[in-house]
């Protein structure tokens, strides 16, 4: 409880300081978010576009793999007919390996 009160006090204090600063040096009211206007991950767009011709993306999330495993899998999907050039394939493999990594072996 005491911690919460202190947190409030500190927040109040910094809000006051912030106000003082804003008056001394006019700043835009709301700074833009760091990723404002950034496009969604292009690799995700590729997955949504090229990996859903034959099945849902659920099948992808359901089978985490190592980077090598994703490389083999994507190569096998390309053999089946997935439309990805080498560059797109590399992006998709990197994205899948990052997003659906194999659980650590224990």
Residues 6, 9, 15, 59: which binds ligand HEC (CB under 6 A)?
A: 59
Q: Quick one: which segment of 11-19, 22-30, 32-40, 49-57 binds ligand HEC (CB under 6 A)?
A: 49-57
- The two tokens of residue 78 are 């390309």
Closest by CA to 58, choosing from 47, 67, 70, is 47
- Say how far apart CA 53 and CA 59 lie, in whole Å: 12
Residues 43, 71, 74, 95: which binds ligand HEC (CB under 6 A)?
A: 74
- Say how far apart CA 59 and CA 26 lie, in whole Å: 52
Residues 81, 85, 86, 106: which binds ligand HEC (CB under 6 A)?
A: 81
Binding region for ligand HEC (CB under 6 A): 50-51, 53-55, 59-60, 63, 73-74, 77, 80-82, 84, 92
């Amino acid at each position: 409880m005491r911690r919460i009160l202190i947190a409030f006090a500190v927040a109040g204090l910094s809000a006051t300081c912030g106000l003082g600063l804003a008056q001394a040096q006019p700043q835009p009211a709301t700074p833009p978010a760091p990723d404002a206007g950034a496009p969604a991950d292009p690799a995700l767009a590729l997955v949504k576009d090229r990996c859903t011709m034959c099945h849902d993306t659920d099948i992808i999330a359901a089978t985490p793999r190592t980077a090598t495993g994703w490389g083999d899998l994507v190569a096998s999907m390309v053999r089946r007919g997935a439309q990805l050039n080498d560059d797109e394939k590399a992006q998709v493999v990197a994205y899948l390996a990052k997003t659906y990594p194999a659980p650590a072996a224990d």
